Amino acid sequence: MPPAYHPELKRRTLLLRLLPATTTRNLSFRRRMMSREPSRLVEGVTTDDLVVDHDGLRVPVRTYRPAGSAADERLATLLWLHGGGLVMGTHRDDQQCSRLAAAHGIAVVSVDYRLAPEDPFPAATDDIVAVARWLVDDGASRGFDAARLAVGGQSAGGGLAASAAARLADGGIDVRGQLLVYPMLDDRTVVRADIGRKDHLVWNNTSNETGWTAYLGVPAGSGDVPHGAVPARRGDLSGLPPAWIGVGTRDLFHDEDVAYAQRLIDAGVECELDIVDGMIHGFDMLVPRGEATRAFHASQDAFLRSVLGLDSRP
């Protein structure tokens, strides 16, 4: 029997049960709705929109910096990847990115990676790696310290962060850590017989099949998945950067996230696993002022301070 919902969710679960799953049929509508989300910057943070031209790719990004930092001041940098099931979402992830920039005095670079099904794997990871290499090669002149670089993301962005961390490690680029917030790591969850198609709120296995199949270009959970597309299918996890993985017990991704964390630990990779009882996918955005969210963010913040060598901040 699944655990009870966290009391801070209150009546939100009743409303969320009425929301339809993300499917190919309603994808255009969901994209339009997500693009209309209002900007919510944390006070004291400035943004800049630019296009990274590197490795033959032109990738839009939005950067976030503390307002008081000098333009040429080299700041520790978090490469951030938005959520959206690999098929939607926006790099204008203002609330989360500005919070992280303000809390730590760092730069956050949010990547407008290409989306499936128009651009399936490896388009998104190619975009992310191009931006990471740009930070290493040219970022110093813009105030980014590539010697103190971490990658992170939420949901699908968390899965892409894990993929990018592996590709960058394979390519000899040093990443200090990977911040994986309820990450989407394993397409094989789609075909689990013990999970119903509509058992989970916000993102269920119907939505999961839509996202993974669009991204992979083949049926999710099949034997024809492209090599390197799915983090949980990587055979050897040794040598990857330290990781933080956080997920709720009522999240569709709970089991795959816990399994991936254990595999990292077994491979000798430092990994902190933060499990929040009774919480669903995206709970920190649903109850941003709740005690569980504050504790969830504090755990992420401690990890970033550690891997990036930052001074403690209130």
**3-class SS shares of the chain: helix, strand, coil, % to 5:** 40, 20, 45
Which CATH number applies to 7-305? Answer: 3.40.50.1820
State how far Cα 55 lies from the chain centre.
Answer: 23
Res. 275: pLDDT tops 60: yes
Q: What percent of the chain has pLDDT over 70?
A: 97
- Average pLDDT of the chain is 94
Domain boundaries, the chain: 7-305
- CA distances 110 to 92, 97, 299, 306, Å, are 7, 8, 21, 21
Over residues 90-132, the pLDDT tens digits come to: 999 999 999 999 999 999 999 999 999 999 999 999 999 999 9
Q: How confident is the model at residue 41 (pLDDT cuts 50, 70, 90)?
A: confident
Please say whether the beta carbons of 230 and 220 come within 8 A. Answer: no
Q: 275: exposed, middle or buried (C-beta count within 10 Å: 0-12, 13-18, 19+)?
A: middle
Over residues 229-248, the pLDDT tens digits come to: 999 999 999 999 999 999 99
Please say whether the beta carbons of 304 and 179 come within 8 A. Answer: yes
Q: What is the predicted pLDDT for the residue at 11? A: 79
Please choose, from the candidates 112, 96, 113, the residue with its C-alpha nearest in 3D space to the C-alpha of residue 104: 96
What does DSSP say about strands 107-111 and 45-54: parallel, antiparallel, or unpaired? unpaired
- Whether the bond between 38 and the residue before it is cis, its omega within 30 degrees of 0, is no
What positions carry a catalytic annotation? Answer: 155, 251, 281
Q: How confident is the model at residue 70 (pLDDT cuts 50, 70, 90)?
A: confident
CA angle 117, 123, 128 (to 5 degrees): 130
CA angle 224, 152, 40 (to 5 degrees): 120
Number of helices and strands in the chain (H, E): 9, 8
Radius of gyration of the chain (CA): 18
Q: What is the predicted pLDDT for the residue at 72? A: 73
3-state secondary structure at position 52: strand
Res. 2: pLDDT tops 90: no
Question: How many CA atoms, within 13 angstroms, populate the side-chain half-sphere of residue 8?
Answer: 19
Segment 58-76 shows an average pLDDT of: 91
Res. 263: pLDDT tops 90: yes
Q: What is the predicted pLDDT for the residue at 314? A: 42
Please report, in angstroms and rounded to a whole number, the separation of the first and last CA atoms in the chain. 40
Tell me how crowded residue 70 is: count the other CB atoms within 10 A of its CB.
9
Q: Which residues contact 231 (CB under 8 A, 6 or more apart)?
A: 159, 162, 163, 166, 183, 185, 186, 260
Angstrom distance (rounded) from CA 282 to CA 198: 16
Q: What is the predicted pLDDT for the residue at 45? A: 95
Please say whether the beta carbons of 283 and 248 come within 8 A. Answer: yes
